[in-house]
Structure 1
Amino acid sequence: MQNDLESYQYGARLIVKYWENTLSTEESEELEAWIAASEENRLLFAELTKEATLKEELRQISRFHPQRAWKKIEAARKEKKQVPWVGVVATLIMLLLAITLKWCYLREAPPADKKTDNRGISR
């Protein structure tokens, strides 16, 4: 399986150089040998070098706009940097509420082991 993957990657690199017209003589011979190595390689090369396939690939590439993509990345980074204020405020409110309730509870309920008289003085 790994050998097939490596073979396709190797063939893909050669096909890209073929498209760019940058194959050296040695690479051209290697591409021919790769094509002849199997029927799958031959069919893949035929498909990838069809004019219709190339036009479709170019159409897909032309739809990509690096500036727009970079703006999306920058916007996402800014969103991550912003502090989630709603969560921070809600947490602070909950903390203050808990402290207030605890303070009120401790103030109203005397300890169970101490007895107090009517004036609230411990004995």
Structure 2
Amino acid sequence: MDGHEVVSLLHGEVGLSPWPRALLADEGVTALGRLLREYYEAVRDFQPPAQAVSCGPDARWRPGQIMPHGDLTSWNSVWAGDRLAGVIDWDLAIPGEALDDLAQLAWYSVPLRLPDRQR
């Protein structure tokens, strides 16, 4: 891509509160988890170039790390009906652990807060 950022449009509904119908069913959270697993499988061998700079000034790549999304929440998911169309807002992706994304997804996908306290 010659050093250029590529931007594309995802058609659908962003998972904001009130959540899309797909996120109110187990299948919605399952789709997010499946996408996360497939993403990790796709990038597990990726290693950023030595001169790469991330948005986290102290972030340093270490063996065994991946490039997690960094802000994987329902409101960064896009839904076309009941189908997960994709994930947006990758600007917080820095070298880290896969468990960080999984924990954040679980934290924000299970509505443990009262509706008026949800985003």
**TM-score past 0.5 threshold:** no
Q: Which has the larger radius of gyration?
A: 1
Greater fraction helix? 1
Greater fraction strand? 2
**Scaled by the length of structure 1, what TM-score is found?**
0.25
**Scaled by the length of structure 2, what TM-score is found?**
0.25
